[in-house]
Amino acid sequence: MDTITINRQELIKLMRETFIDVLTTRKDLVEEAVIGAIEDMGLGIAMEAGRTGEYIKTEAFALKLDKKISHSGGTGRSAVPSFNLLRLIQLCT
């Protein structure tokens, strides 16, 4: 592979052209990145708002979450497949 020399202005021009090309031809990549960033910001804001300094036991959290899941959708049945939430939490910790 040969080495090339490029000055600052040429590099800026090349980067600008590449960026414009990506924005116009791969809008899906930009859309995914923006959506991901917005979701991350929303999660961070929700975590800060919910932070009270009070902690509960894993079992109590699992029961509350399982209860919320089982009551979702208004049908009394969960839209999420049934699983042992406590076991899942234990595996993750």
**Residue 37 and residue 30 in contact, taking contact as beta carbons nearer than 8 Å:** no
Q: Give the percent of the chain with pLDDT over 90.
A: 22
- Compute the 3-state secondary structure of the chain and give helix, strand, coil in percent, each to the nearest 5: 70, 0, 30
Q: Give the model confidence (pLDDT) of 36-56 as tens digits.
A: 999 999 888 888 888 888 888
Residue 75: φ, ψ to 5°: -100, -10
Which carries the bigger pLDDT value, residue 46 or residue 85? 46
Confidence of residue 93 (pLDDT cuts 50, 70, 90): low
| Whether the predicted pLDDT of 76 surpasses 50 | no
Please give the Cα distance from 33 to 39 (Å, whole number). 10
pLDDT reported for residue 86: 61
